[in-house]
Amino acid sequence: MDTQLKLLGKDAPPSEPIRHLKASVDPSTLHHRQLLDGTFWQRIPAYRQIDEATFLDHTWQAKNTITNPQKLLAAVQDLVPQSFYDDVEQGFRHSPMSIRVSPYLLSLIDWQHAYTDPLRRQFVPVASRLLPDHPKLTLDSLHEQADAPVPGLTHRYPDKALFLALDTCPVYCRFCTRSYAVGVDTDEVEKVSLKATEDRWERAFTYIRERPELEDIVVSGGDSYQLKARQITLIGNRLLELPNIRRIRFATKGPAVMPMKLITDHEWLDALTSVVDRGRKLHKEVVLHTHFNHPNEITAITKRALDGVFERGIITRNQCVLQRGVNDSIATMQLLVKRLGHCQVHPYYVYVHDLVKGVEDLRTTLQTALDIEKAVRGTTAGFHTPTFVVDAPGGGGKRVAHSFEHYDRTTGISVFAAPSVKPGYFLYFDPVDTLAPEIQAKWKVPAERDQMVEEAIAAAKAAQQASAKASSVR
């Protein structure tokens, strides 16, 4: 009995102080809990008279969304000089994405430092900062259309399919990997049409039903935030009724750019909740996947919105894109991950930026991802630590960033294999401007860049053969 009491600590004097093994933490340093609050939007000239009830109305947000440089000028007015607006206007002439920015998002941008602000960089291009596209870039770099048996349904992994239900979003991100389809035509890109029509959806449902190996469906687009409540119900229930489907993910950027929809659009959230609840009764998982890239995107409004989602028992996960000048520092990514956890959002993936037309200034090197991943891991619980991945160009799917077969930091070429997805090798390329001048010169000469690619593939094959030989010896 005495031994049991000792093990339980019951023999210790009640007045004995607790021994702390770590240094005390000043609560003021816990920045992930310090969320922007108050009427911050009133810093924007066009919104100075907008009260909280109006600003939180999702219909007001949608109606007042910025859709051209002229509307941006009318909202921000004299916070930036005319030269900046001219830069923006020229930027959009060279952009594959049209402009669409919510008043909420516009209010989070620091317009006093517009050129360096991480949110502006993601949504509002300026011509003076653009870089030439990588020589190996293609418009649909992930080959989503090549892997589409019916329009808007990509079947790449054995048991998972991506269902692109529509081609519009609450905002348009510069870095969108689906710039080939999302939004309206621009001077740079004539879009593939993926309208939200039930006839097109029916073909997707038929294909899914005829493929018994499919168990996991991602409902994306575009953005599922733009689906009407009845469409959420229709798509959710049709998929739940298929006996082979076990998991459904509704993907949306919405909570990061218009969180008030989760607060004031009761019909939409009720529809999602109903699908989640029905799925749970059928022992099927229905979750929400969202997309925060920077801690400044998470405010007190965000927390209130996501608290409401959490109260309904809806699991929310985050998929982030690593971007230069946005979140490519250790401190920023650590803060983002912690802030997501504070809002009960599970950090799931951090994507190394895809090769996307018109946004070379946002891409980082693969090495950047490797360095940040090492520093992020261990700062919080493992299930709140994201996996850093490369979505392999050419349709190789998501590969863990450090799982390359070969990575030449000099040429910027990394080679991945995806044996469970497709045969062959899949190459990712660091931005040319991050390489040494003599290597940049090589990338300008087709024959020399082809030679660099061939040498990288040969090195990957040699590494695989060496690994196989070592395994056989063991």
Q: Give the tens place of pLDDT for each residue, 274-327.
A: 999 999 999 999 999 999 999 999 999 999 999 999 999 999 999 999 999 999
* Distance, CA of 320 to CA of 253 (rounded, Å): 10
Q: Please give the order of strands across the beta sheet that includes 406-408.
A: 406-408, 413-418, 422-429
Question: Are the C-beta atoms of 142 and 356 separated by less than 8 Å?
Answer: no
- Going through 254-324 in order, the beta strands assigned E by DSSP cover 285-290, 316-322
Are the C-beta atoms of 215 and 246 separated by less than 8 Å? yes
Residue whose C-alpha is closest to residue 136's, from 351, 357, 318, 316: 357
The CATH H-level superfamily of 153-403 is Aldolase class I (3.20.20.70)
Cα gap 204→236, rounded to integer Å: 13
Predicted pLDDT of residue 210: 97
Please give the radius of gyration of the chain, using alpha carbons only, rounded to the nearest integer.
24
pTM as predicted: 0.92
pLDDT grade for 77, boundaries at 50, 70 and 90: very high
List 408's β-bridge partners, or say none.
413
Question: What is the separation, in whole angstroms, between the first and last Cα of the chain?
Answer: 52
Residue extents of the structural domains in the chain: 40-129, 153-403, 405-474
pLDDT at 10: 56
Q: Is 131 helix (H, G, I), strand (E, B) or coil?
A: coil
> What single string gives the DSSP state of each residue in 6-63?
HHTTTTS-TTSPP--SS----GGG-GGG--B-SSGGGGSGGGTT--HHHHT-HHHHHH
Q: What is the pLDDT of residue 49?
A: 98
The C-alpha atoms of residue 158 and residue 18 are separated, in whole angstroms, by 54
CB 250 within 8 A of CB 309: no
Task: Tell me the average pLDDT of the chain.
Answer: 92
**Is residue 308 packed enough to be buried (19+ CB in 10 Å), middle (13-18) or exposed (0-12)?**
middle
% residues pLDDT > 90 (the chain) = 80
pLDDT at residue 196 in the model: 81
Cα angle for residues 159, 164, 170 (degrees, 5° grid): 135
pLDDT digits (tens, 9 = 90+) for 403-422: 999 999 999 999 999 999 99
